[in-house]
Structures are given as structure tokens and as C-alpha cells.
């Protein structure tokens, strides 16, 4: 493709070059660094580092810590998060230290992701986009947690931003490495999500016959997903079998309208499965309902400014990344849409600035105060939802701590085994192995549990209203919170 055509793709000038009148490098990066720094501090203030690990976190962290046996690692999971937390979790059992480490790392990730877009949007738009994404309760809550979705979002921003830069003449090897590293980060965290994000980029590169960015993208996806594929053949009977099992665990991928489920989860539900109950109040979901309209305004702004590609490509990637979670699974979790929110933040920020300032840069005396008021209300609602989410999760994790202490009092100490209701997190908190005879995390049998009870302490946990498994009906029962715990007799 000719150089002039390439330049047109990114708004009539070379991507990665500095137009006349652009502020110096320091003035460009300081606002982005400030947003990332405030995001880091906000996480530490609003999400207490002392909050214990969640269910999925115990699975990921247990893979690399020496203080806890490794929990069962089901087919959909990938090793990206264990690698992410290994520098701390491999030698320290401190949850506080891990939270601080992840908060700082997530702030750095946001800064690097925004930097990938420098020169493609005005710096004020990039800073606003970062602030919009960083102030969502789901971003603040999951930023300091050992979970993969935020890092898929960071990888998506880096990959798509550098991809757009490569499309313009003058973009060098750094942009190509950015495409590859962003794709690799996504695939390392969640391979399937990485593919969904990358589909528009792959199609665009093929349509434009851009071999270099295509190879960088494909190479990054392959590098990041290599371990997951190798593990499929080593432990799951092959790639097809692992994909099939992963689909089964997620309820079977197919046509499932989950838009209403995502709306219900916006009230602070970490996992909405099954997703029943009333919808959250209108102020909680209003931003989600208005988001498509604001994005469309951002597209109109980009088209009028003759820089459509930097807006349309992330929009397309956001749509494809959200498709499986809106229309292909039968449950919802707000963190699933984090990559889409991160990519949509760019046209949203572009639209907000056009609402408050006209084409000549003058403030709009009526719209500017209204937008400021709407943003203030949005921040208040997000903060309120975050506070409720933190309180609920803190309470549930304190319950696991109480159950673990009771298990220790009953003599169930490492080496030991916990089975039954919430066996994975309870086992982690107690320092025991966990085993389940069925369900998504089935990794043992009743005979194996009975045999292990002859050698080590074993406890079977039954949830509210449940019945104990047959092999544990003669074991001594105990009540802890609303759970029934049966401890196997010694020997």
C-alpha cells in the first residue's frame, strides 16, 4: 500500500510522528501517568488490601505458592495469572503484599496501554478514556485481584493501538512488538478472549494485505496460547477435548441471550449464575444503557475529523470481544466485559470532549455543566456499587476464614483434604487439598476420598439445605456458620 494511503488510515498524517503544535513528550505522558497513579491509589483506598482471596483467586495463587496445595485447574483456565502473581506468591503468603503488588502493576499496565495510543488521539482524550475505564467499579475491584480479565483489557488496548500505528507510514519495530506483546498477553490470560478481540484485526489485515501486522498479531497469539495448547494435549486428551470440556463448564456455548444477565450483574454481583432476581436501580444501569449512544457520537466525531480507523477498529474489537458474553453463555459476570469497556473508552472520551467543546475549542456553556454533572453522578454511583461489592466479598471471605479455623480446631490440619461445598476456597484457607467428586471441578472419587481418610484428616462440607455424601454420613457432624462439617474418624 502506498505511503499516502497508509497515512490516510490514521487521520491524514503518519502514525507515530509528532504533528506541529503537539506538546513535548513530558506534557504528553504526564497526564497519562497521573491517571494511572490515581487509579493505583484509588484501588488501595477503596479495595482493602486485607480482603482475602476470592474463589478463583485461590485456584490461581495455589498453583505457584508453597504454602498451599495446588487446587484443581479446570479446562477453561490458563496459566497467565499464576505467572503474574508468582513474583510475590511464590515466596510470601501475605494477601496484603499481593494486593499492593497487583494494584501497582495494574496502574503501570494502564499507563502502558494508554501510551500505545499516543498520537492517534489528543492527550486529553486518552487521559479521559483512561479515567473512564479506571473509575468503573468493576475495574477498581478487579485491578488488585489475581484475575485475568483486566489484563486481557490491557493487552487489547496495547495490541489494537499498536496495530493502528503500524497501519500508518513511519511506524517502526516498536509498534510491531506492541502488537505481538499485546496479543501474547491476552492469549496468556484467556486464549479464547484473545481470539475474539483479534478477529477484526485479522480480517482488516487480510483485506488490506498487510502481511507484517498480520504476522505480528498471529505470532503474539500463538506465543501466548502455546502453553494452553500444550497442556491440552498433556492433560486433557487434546485441543478439541479441552475446548469441548471448557464449553461444557461454561454451560455450553451457543445462542444464549445474556444481555439481561449482564444488566443484573451491574449491581455488584461477581458471578450471576444462575442470574435471577430484580434488576438494579436505574442509576446503576443508566450508564450501560447510554453507552452505545455515546459511542456512536464518538464514531461521528472521528469520521468528521477524518480519522475513522483509530475509532472504528477498537469499536469492532470491543463488539467481537463482548459477543460471546452477551449472546453465547447462559450466565454473566461483569468482569467478562472489561476488554470491551477498555476499548470503548476511546470513542466515549472523544464524544465527551466534543460535547463540552465545539470545533473551535470553545466551551459549550450549557452542555459542559450538564456533562460535568452527569460524570459526577456516574462516579458517585460507581463508588457506591464498589463499596457494597467490597463489603459483601469481605464478609464471604471472612466466613471461609472462620470455617478454616474451626477445621483446625477439629484437628483437620495440613496435610489434609476438604471435599464438598466450596471445597476449593475453604481448602485453601485451611491449607488443605480440595477434592470434588463431580461438577465443574470434579477431580476425585468417593473411593479415593475414603482411602485418603485412612492416612490424613478429611472433612466433608455440606451447604445449607444439602445432604452429606454417602461416604461421610457416619462421620462426626459439626455446625459452622450455616454449614455442616463432617470429619472422618482417624484411621
Percent of the chain residues past pLDDT 90, beyond the cut: 85
36 and 155 inside one domain: yes
Select the more confidently predicted residue: 439 or 145: 145
Residue 426's domain comprises: 399-487
Q: Is residue 382 part of a domain?
A: no
With a cut of 90, say whether residue 33 has pLDDT above it: yes
Q: Is residue 171 part of a domain?
A: yes
Residue with the bigger pLDDT between 306 and 36: it is 36
Q: Looking at the predicted structure, is the pLDDT value of residue 426 above 90? A: yes
For residues 232 and 288, membership in a common domain is answered with yes
- Select the more confidently predicted residue: 432 or 18: 432
Torsion of CA 242, 246, 252, 256, to 10 degrees: -130
Same domain membership, residue 420 and residue 304: no
Residue 250 confidence (pLDDT): 84
Are both 21 and 169 inside the same structural domain?
yes
Residue 361 lies in a domain: no
Q: Are 170 and 17 in contact (CB under 8 A)?
A: yes
Closest of 420, 403, 435 to residue 470, by C-alpha: 420
Note whether 351 and 413 are same-domain residues.
Answer: no
Per DSSP, the residues of 309-326 read HHHHHHHHHHHHHHHHHH
Residue 259, C-alpha cell as written in the block: 444481555
Which of 344, 333, 337, 341 is CA-nearest to residue 267? 333
457 and 349 within one domain = no
- In this prediction, residues 233-244 reach a mean pLDDT of 95
Q: Choose the final residue of a domain: 296, 330, 356.
A: 356
Mean pLDDT to the nearest integer, 287-301: 96
DSSP state of 258: -
Point out the least confidently predicted range of 267-276, 404-413, 446-455: 267-276
266 part of a folded domain: yes
Average pLDDT for 416-445: 95
- The C-alpha torsion from 39 through 45 and 47 to 51, rounded to 10°, is 140
- 315 and 424 both lie in a single domain: no
Degrees to nearest 5, angle at CA 251 with 247 and 255:
90
pLDDT at residue number 195: 98
Quick check: 26 pLDDT over 50?
yes
Mean pLDDT of the chain: 92
Do 171 and 224 lie in one domain? The reply is yes
Confidence of residue 359 (pLDDT cuts 50, 70, 90): confident
**Model pLDDT for residues 213-224, shown as the tens digit of each residue:** 999 999 999 999
The span from the CA of 93 to the CA of 101, in Å, is 13
| 141, 179 contact by CB (below 8 A) | no
83: confidence class by pLDDT, cuts 50, 70, 90: very high
Per mean pLDDT, which range of 2-6, 8-12, 251-255 is the poorest?
A: 2-6
Q: Is the pLDDT of residue 5 over 70?
A: no
Burial class (CB in 10 A: 0-12, 13-18, 19+), 396: middle
210 part of a folded domain: yes
Contact 293, 374 (CB under 8 A): no
Q: How confident is the model at residue 491 (pLDDT cuts 50, 70, 90)?
A: low
Pairing of strands 476-480, 483-487: antiparallel
**101 pLDDT above the threshold of 60:** yes
Residues 18 and 73 in one domain: yes
**pLDDT at residue 273 in the model:** 86
- Chain segment 379-409, per-residue pLDDT in tens: 999 999 999 999 999 999 999 999 999 999 9
Does a structural domain hold residue 313?
A: yes
At 266 the pLDDT is 95
Residue ending a domain, choose from 335, 356, 377: 356
Q: Are residues 330 and 453 in the same domain?
A: no
Pair 103, 198 in one domain = yes
The structural domain count of the chain equals 2
Which of 324, 356, 388 is the C-terminal boundary of a domain? 356
Q: Let me know whether 254 and 140 are in one domain.
A: yes
* Confidence category of residue 358, pLDDT binned at 50, 70, 90: confident
- Report residue 237 as a C-alpha cell: 486428551
What is the C-alpha separation between 164 and 167, in angstroms, rounded?
Answer: 5
- Residue 370 within a domain: no
Amino acid at each position: 500500500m502506498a505511503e499516502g494511503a497508509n497515512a490516510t488510515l490514521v487521520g491524514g498524517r503518519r502514525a507515530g510522528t509528532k504533528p506541529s503544535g503537539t506538546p513535548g513528550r513530558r506534557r504528553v505522558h504526564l497526564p497519562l501517568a497521573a491517571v494511572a497513579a490515581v487509579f493505583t491509589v484509588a484501588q488501595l483506598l477503596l479495595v482493602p488490601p486485607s480482603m482475602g482471596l476470592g474463589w478463583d483467586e485461590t485456584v490461581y495463587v495455589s498453583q505457584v505458592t508453597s504454602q498451599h496445595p495446588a487446587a484443581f485447574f479446570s479446562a477453561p483456565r490458563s496459566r497467565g495469572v499464576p505467572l503474574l502473581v508468582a513474583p510475590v506468591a511464590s515466596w510470601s503468603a501475605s494477601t496484603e503484599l499481593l494486593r499492593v503488588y497487583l494494584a501497582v502493576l495494574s496502574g503501570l499496565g494502564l499507563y502502558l496501554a494508554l501510551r500505545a495510543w499516543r498520537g492517534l488521539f489528543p492527550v486529553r482524550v486518552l487521559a479521559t478514556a483512561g479515567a473512564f475505564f479506571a473509575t468503573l467499579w468493576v475495574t477498581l475491584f478487579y485491578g488488585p485481584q489475581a484475575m485475568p480479565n483486566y489484563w486481557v483489557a490491557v493487552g487489547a488496548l496495547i495490541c489494537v493501538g499498536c496495530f493502528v500505528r503500524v497501519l500508518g507510514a513511519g511506524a517502526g519495530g516498536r509498534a510491531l512488538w506492541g502488537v505481538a506483546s499485546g496479543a501474547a498477553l491476552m492469549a496468556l490470560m484467556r486464549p479464547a478472549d484473545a481470539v475474539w478481540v483479534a478477529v477484526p484485526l485479522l480480517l482488516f489485515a487480510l483485506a488490506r494485505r498487510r502481511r507484517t501486522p498480520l504476522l505480528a498479531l498471529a505470532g503474539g497469539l500463538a506465543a501466548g496460547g502455546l502453553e494452553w495448547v500444550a497442556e491440552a494435549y498433556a492433560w486433557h486428551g487434546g485441543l478439541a477435548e479441552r475446548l469441548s470440556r471448557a464449553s461444557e463448564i461454561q454451560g455450553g456455548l451457543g445462542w444464549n441471550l445474556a444481555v439481561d444477565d449482564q444488566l443484573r450483574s451491574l449491581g455488584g454481583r461477581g458471578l450471576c449464575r444462575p442470574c435471577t432476581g430484580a434488576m438494579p436501580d436505574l442509576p446503576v444501569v443508566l450508564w450501560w444503557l447510554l453507552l452505545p449512544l455515546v459511542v456512536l457520537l464518538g464514531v461521528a466525531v472521528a469520521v468528521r475529523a477524518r480519522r475513522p480507523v483509530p475509532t472504528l477498529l477498537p469499536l469492532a474489537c470491543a463488539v467481537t470481544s463482548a459477543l460471546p458474553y452477551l449472546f453465547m453463555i447462559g450466565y454473566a459476570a461483569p468482569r467478562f466485559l472489561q476488554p470491551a469497556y477498555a476499548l470503548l473508552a476511546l470513542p466515549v472520551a472523544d464524544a465527551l470532549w466534543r460535547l463540552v467543546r465545539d470545533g473551535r475549542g470553545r466551551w459549550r456553556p450549557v452542555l459542559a455543566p450538564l456533562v460535568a454533572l452527569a460524570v459526577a453522578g456516574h462516579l458517585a454511583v460507581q463508588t457506591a456499587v464498589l463499596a457494597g461489592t467490597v463489603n459483601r466479598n469481605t464478609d464471604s471471605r471472612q466466613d471461609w476464614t472462620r470455617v478454616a479455623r474451626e477445621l483446625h480446631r477439629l484437628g483437620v490440619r495440613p496435610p489434609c483434604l476438604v471435599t464438598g461445598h466450596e471445597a476449593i476456597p475453604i481448602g485453601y484457607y485451611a491449607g488443605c487439598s480440595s477434592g470434588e467428586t463431580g461438577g465443574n471441578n470434579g477431580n476425585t472419587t468417593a473411593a479415593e476420598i475414603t482411602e485418603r481418610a485412612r492416612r490424613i484428616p478429611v472433612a466433608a462440607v455440606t451447604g445449607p439445605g444439602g445432604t452429606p455424601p454417602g461416604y461421610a454420613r457416619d462421620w462426626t457432624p459439626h455446625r459452622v456458620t450455616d454449614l455442616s462439617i463432617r470429619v472422618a474418624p482417624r484411621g
